[in-house]
């Protein structure tokens, strides 16, 4: 072999390796950890962990973080090191309040290590949000009717709450709205405001966030139609539109959002149900697709996911259709990070069903994956790599 031929072969081999490395580094992760929050009945239940394959939408069970009471809603920090769970109970350490727990994440096997647990400041905490720096947690307490704020240390320890905003008032529907029921709290894109949906008083309250002091200052109130029961909120990728799903009258309200003041203004409200449905229904969760083209909401009773196409300029919604969840009482659902799949947690039928997303039409089709999980109510996913 001549020196020239040897050099050419060596050069070709090196280039092939570099190209392969570039292709690998450019690919998005295809394997994820799925954490499932649930309602629990015994010490053998808790937060369930699955491996999700984004190439085909398959789910494989890994482990269960046992002995965690009613971890009904979860949040994971951006660095994938910490997981936070509300413990949706009416009593903690002898007081009429729920609690919040933080965990360290082991990315190698998905297991969780408990770090800390504190009072949530109100009964039945049902939602938690974490800011990008993982230094602040915000919790909505359903039966407490309030929003609490918690500083988080660098090792993931939750401190006692530094602020507690008690909501006041009542709504139209006596058995569900006789007192405030804070149901969710989400941070604005810049994290300078927190939007809190209160089902009991038909309002979304906007708070200015002081991250250093861990304090909230009320800025404005957005009133929905009496009897609506606002539950969850989803913010459009363009940061100018906000969508609220209303549990009690089965509607979605689209809003314009003023980021400088944290103010919502109604654009329109549309039903989540087909015209021929006459049974009872209670909406639950809502999400905008990653590309901002479609909006999805869950119907408990009709047992479906409603699909809308979003007009990005006007913020108005046009109905695409409904897809059966192949189960009962779809609580929360999520789109996987690739945008190719939608996973639904069916609380009453004890299963998680995976759907493939048609990214051109927004329509859903089951990919055949249906796993049994006891009372699943919240889904959160992170890449393994």
Distance CA 355, CA 190 (A): 31
**Tokens 């250093």 — which residue?**
212
Distance CA 224, CA 234 (A): 16
Per DSSP, the three-state class of 101 is: strand
Q: What dihedral do alpha carbons 79, 83, 86, 87 form, nearest 10°?
A: -170
Strands 182-187 and 163-166: unpaired
- Are 165 and 151 a contacting pair, CB within 8 Å? no
Strands 330-335 and 317-324: unpaired
Is it the case that residue 6 has pLDDT exceeding 60? Answer: no
Query: Is the pTM here over 0.85, yes or no?
Result: yes
Q: For residue 385, what pLDDT band results from cuts at 50, 70 and 90?
A: low
Q: How far apart are the first and last CA of the chain?
A: 42
Is it the case that residue 88 has pLDDT exceeding 90? Answer: yes
| Beta bridge partner(s), residue 32 | 52, 383
- Are 49 and 34 a contacting pair, CB within 8 Å? yes
Q: Tally Cβ neighbours within 10 Å of residue 2.
A: 7
Distance CA 272, CA 285 (A): 12
| Beta bridge partner(s), residue 66 | 46
Distance CA 50, CA 367 (A): 17
Residue-wise pLDDT for 267-324, tens only, equals 999 999 999 999 999 999 999 999 999 999 999 999 999 999 999 999 999 999 999 9
What's the token pair of residue 58?
């398959």
What's the token pair of residue 104?
């360290």
Per DSSP, the three-state class of 223 is: strand
Residue-wise pLDDT for 336-351, tens only, equals 999 999 999 999 999 9
């Amino acid at each position: 072999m001549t020196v020239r031929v040897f050099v050419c072969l060596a050069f070709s081999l090196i280039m092939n390796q570099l190209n392969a490395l570039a292709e690998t580094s450019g690919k998005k992760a295809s394997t994820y950890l799925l954490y499932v929050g649930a309602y629990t009945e015994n010490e053998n239940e808790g937060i369930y962990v699955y491996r999700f394959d984004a190439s085909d939408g398959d789910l494989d069970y890994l482990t269960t973080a046992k002995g965690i009471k009613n971890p009904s809603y979860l949040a994971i920090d951006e660095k994938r090191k910490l997981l936070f769970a509300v413990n949706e109970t009416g009593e903690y350490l002898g007081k009429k309040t729920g609690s919040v727990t933080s965990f360290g994440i082991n990315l190698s096997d998905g297991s969780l290590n408990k770090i800390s647990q504190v009072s949530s400041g109100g009964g039945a905490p049902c939602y938690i949000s974490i800011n990008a720096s993982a230094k602040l947690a915000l919790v909505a307490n359903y039966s407490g009717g309030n929003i609490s704020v918690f500083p988080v240390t660098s090792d993931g320890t939750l401190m006692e709450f530094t602020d507690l905003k008690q909501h006041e008032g009542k709504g139209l529907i006596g058995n569900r709205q006789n007192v405030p029921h804070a149901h969710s709290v989400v941070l604005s894109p810049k994290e300078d405001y927190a939007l809190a949906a209160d089902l009991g008083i038909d309002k979304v309250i906007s708070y200015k966030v002081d991250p250093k002091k861990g304090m909230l200052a009320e800025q404005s109130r957005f009133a929905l139609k009496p009897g609506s029961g606002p539950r969850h909120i989803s913010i459009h990728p363009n940061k100018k539109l906000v969508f609220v799903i209303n549990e009690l009258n089965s509607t979605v309200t689209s809003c314009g959002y003023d980021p400088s003041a944290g103010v919502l203004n109604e654009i329109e409200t549309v039903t989540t149900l087909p015209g021929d449905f006459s049974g009872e229904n209670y909406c639950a969760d809502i999400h905008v697709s990653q590309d901002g083209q479609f909006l999805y909401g869950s119907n408990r009773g009709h047992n479906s996911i409603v699909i809308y196409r979003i007009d990005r300029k006007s913020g108005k919604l046009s109905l695409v259709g409904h897809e059966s969840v192949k189960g009962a009482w779809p609580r929360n659902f999520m789109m996987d990070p690739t945008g190719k799949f939608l996973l639904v947690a069916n609380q009453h039928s004890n299963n998680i069903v995976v759907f493939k997303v048609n990214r051109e039409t927004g329509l859903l089709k089951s990919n055949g994956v249906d796993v049994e999980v006891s009372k699943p109510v919240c889904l959160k996913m992170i890449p393994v790599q």
